[in-house]
């Protein structure tokens, strides 16, 4: 399993973000976490391209969507204890 960061920027004024969020939550995963506006972290056995292709159908042309595999290290600030612990544990399991 790997940790992926999913980030998106959608057209303003459109109301389809809910469909994308449902699709992210429906990904076959070992858990997901959302604490930053339009950024999610997901634990998955799928490759980044598979996750991207699964989600791409829920965005419009001109929207931005990135799925990036995380390594076993990271740095962050301003997160509450629960968020920090989730990221720490998820990334630790990457090692």
Domains in the chain and their CATH numbers?
2-92 (3.30.70.100)
pTM for this predicted structure:
0.85
Side-chain-side CA neighbours of residue 61 (13 Å): 0
Q: pLDDT of 2-34, one tens digit each?
A: 999 999 998 876 667 789 999 999 998 888 989
| Per-residue pLDDT at 94 | 66
At 79, is the secondary structure helix, strand, or coil? coil
pLDDT of residue 49: 96
Helices 17-26 and 48-56: angle between axes, nearest 10 degrees: 140
pLDDT of residue 55: 95
């Amino acid at each position: 399993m790997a940790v992926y960061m999913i980030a998106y920027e959608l057209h303003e004024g459109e109301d389809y973000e809910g469909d994308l969020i449902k699709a992210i939550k429906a990904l076959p995963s070992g858990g997901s976490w959302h604490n930053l506006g339009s950024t999610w972290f997901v634990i998955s056995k799928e490759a980044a391209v598979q996750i991207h292709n699964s989600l791409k159908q829920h965005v419009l042309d001109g929207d931005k969507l990135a799925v990036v595999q995380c390594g076993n290290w990271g740095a962050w600030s301003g997160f509450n204890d629960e968020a920090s612990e989730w990221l720490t544990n998820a990334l630790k399991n990457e090692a």
